Structure 1
Amino acid sequence: MQIIVLGAGAGGGFPQWNCNCPHCRAVRRGSGELTPRTQSSIAISADGERWLLCNASPDIRAQIAATPELQPRHGVRDSGIAEVLLVDAQIDHVSGLLSLREGCPLDVWCTPSVHRDLSTGFPLFPMLGHWQGGLHWRPIELDEAHPETTFRVPSCPGLVFTAVALHSNAPPYSPRRGWPSTGDNLGLFIEDGVSGTSLFYAPGLGEMTPGVHDYLARADCVLVDGTLWHDDELPRLGVGRATGAEMGHLALAGEHGLIRELDALPATTRRILIHINNTNPILDAASAERAVLDGHGIEVAVDGLRLTL
């Protein structure tokens, strides 16, 4: 199994276009301790030729330009992207589908909840139906009665995907915002039937449950939510009012923070943070918070990171 981190930043990327926080200001000035990041997305492949795009960020065009594996290689019109899988309906995870319209028809895997939001409040499915057959929905069957489901994706032979419902939040435009339902957000446990290795991917993890912890503990590598250091980070810096819990992101620090949960994983598990907000001090490689992560053996993803499991 091959994984490419196309974007490691949270919504807005780093630096965010309208943000003048110390981190964004410093990275614009070329600080050597701060690395720009585009918005969160990864690509997964079993053969290095066909790639499953996990989330289509608004930065997808730049991400493709930086990733030869996803560029045309076999025809006048071609792409390494064979299919798309969406873990939620957040704008920073789905609006890149608009930039992929020339590649339609395109198979898109998502839950019924996500498909509903992308057919109504943010109607990408009906909108892109005007381009060469549009988006073909491939259901990931998560609902209240089925909080987990296992399936296979044609472009990734040999890989087995298990979608796990996460406690997070629906997008701000969704009628379920504040009252999320099963299927609004999922984590992916991916097993390679050949190598026997596994990945758990969860860029939007709002709450740790026993079930999620079990999947984290089973994985050889976890690529998980590093959005915020403090739950009240945005209000504390004066750049927003919502807490991490309200947005559906479990903060790293604190008695019940994600660092503590990652510490409980087997020593052999590789632990990597993704979906990092521009306010998070871990973006500064020289920060005290980054030193804390180093002490716990936790990595911070950057765009272009490649993993082979």
Structure 2
Amino acid sequence: MRIRVLGSAAGGGFPQWNCNCPRCREARSGRLADESRTQSSIAVSADGQRWLLINASPDIRAQILATPELQPGRGARDTGIAAIALMDSQIDHVTGLLMLRESATPLPVYCSERAEEDLRTGFPILEILSHYCGTQVHNLPLDGQAVEPAEVPGIRFTPVALTSKAPPYSPHRADPRPGDNLGLFLEDRSSGRAAFYAPGLGEMEPHLETWMASADVLLVDGTTWTDDEMQRTVGGRKTAREMGHMPQTGPGGMIERLRRYPRARRVLIHINNTNPILDPASAERAQLAEEGIEVAHDGMVIEL
């Protein structure tokens, strides 16, 4: 199984278009220009030909242009994207579906019933796409049952419910329930090796222990370094935890929790533009290196 990181930043990318925080300023000035990142998304394949796109970010066009495996190569109109899995209905993870409207066939979309409801009501992308290529929606189970998408042979994944709020436009924003946000336990059917992908991990719930302990790779939430980072850096109103993300540091932070899984390759993704780990020369990046924790970047390839 091959995992290709298409985008490794949080919403807005890095640098963010309207942000003048120290990291964005340094990216524009040139010192951190090589650390630029698009909004988070990955693609997974067992054969290197047919790919499962996990989340369709607003940057999907640029991500396809940077990824030869996803580009047309077999016909006049073609793509390596065989199916799409959505982990939630957040604008940063679904807007890219609109860019795929020129598909010659309906887009196979795997998502929870809660996400589908959001995408037919509060943010009706699925209804918009019905006037273009259309979609074939497959609702994901939340009972631990694995899914083997026929479009991507050799790949199996299990949706894992994560505690989180639905987007502001969701009709059930004030009524959070399982299915609003998912993690995915991704398996190669041939080798049995697995990865746990959770870019929106707000808390380490007990039921996650089994999935994370069984994974060979943990590709998890790297949004902020501290809980109050957004407030201190750009005057944000919410902490990381209030936004549904575990900070890396502090009691119960991501670094502390990842120490429980020394066997796994541990990689942070969904990195906010305010996070000092975007600077390879920072003390924070050095601390991650001492812990054996990697920082995802666009174009990163993980082989399992």
Q: Give yes or no for TM over 0.5.
A: yes
- The aligned runs of 1:90-169 (5 Å cut-off) are 90-103=90-103, 104-132=105-133, 134-142=134-142, 146=143, 148-169=144-165
From 266, 274, 291, the counterpart of 1:271: 266
| Structure 1 stretch displaced more, 172-181 or 120-129 | 172-181
Q: Deviations over 1:110-159 (max 9, x none)?
A: 00000000000000111110013x111111023xxx3x331111122222
Q: TM-score, normalised by structure 2?
A: 0.97
Q: Hey, what's the Cα distance between the residues in 2 that align with 1:185 and 1:149?
A: 16
Pick closer, same or farther for the CA change 1:32–1:241 going to 2, 3 Å.
closer
SS at 1:63 equivalent: helix
* Letter of the 1:125 counterpart: L
SS at 1:190 equivalent: strand
- Checking the alignment, whether the CA contact within 8 Å between 2:83 and 2:152 is kept in structure 1 is no
- Checking the alignment, whether the CA contact within 8 Å between 2:26 and 2:32 is kept in structure 1 is no
The CA deviation at 1:239 is: 3.7
Q: Hey, what's the Cα distance between the residues in 1 that align with 2:238 and 2:149?
A: 36
Q: Hey, what's the Cα distance between the residues in 2 that align with 1:17 and 1:101?
A: 25
1:74 aligns with 2:74: yes
From 248, 264, 268, the counterpart of 2:244: 248
The CA deviation at 1:180 is: 1.6
From 200, 207, 210, the counterpart of 2:203: 207
Q: Deviations over 1:157-202 (max 9, x none)?
A: 2222111001122112223335421000111111212112111000
Q: Hey, what's the Cα distance between the residues in 1 that align with 2:153 and 2:208?
A: 25
User: How many residues matched?
Assistant: 303
Q: Hey, what's the Cα distance between the residues in 1 that align with 2:55 and 2:63?
A: 12
Q: TM-score, normalised by structure 1?
A: 0.95
* Letter of the 1:56 counterpart: A
SS at 2:145 equivalent: strand
Q: Hey, what's the Cα distance between the residues in 1 that align with 2:7 and 2:221?
A: 13
Q: Hey, what's the Cα distance between the residues in 1 that align with 2:175 and 2:240?
A: 16
1:297 aligns with 2:298: no
Q: Hey, what's the Cα distance between the residues in 2 that align with 1:61 and 1:149?
A: 32
- The aligned runs of 1:216-235 (5 Å cut-off) are 216-235=212-231
The CA deviation at 1:238 is: 3.0
Counterpart for residue 62 of structure 1:
62
Q: Hey, what's the Cα distance between the residues in 2 that align with 1:252 and 1:175?
A: 31
Unaligned runs of 5+ in 1: none
Pick closer, same or farther for the CA change 1:204–1:166 going to 2, 3 Å.
same
Q: Hey, what's the Cα distance between the residues in 2 that align with 1:33 and 1:264?
A: 34
Runs of 4+ in 1 over 6 A off after TM superposition: none
* Letter of the 2:297 counterpart: V
* Letter of the 2:98 counterpart: L
The percentage of aligned residue pairs carrying the same residue is: 58
Q: Deviations over 1:20-52 (max 9, x none)?
A: 111001011111586000000000001100001
SS at 1:150 equivalent: coil
RMSD of the TM alignment (CA)? 1.3
Q: Deviations over 1:233-281 (max 9, x none)?
A: 111113421111221111110111011110111x321000000000111
SS at 1:149 equivalent: coil
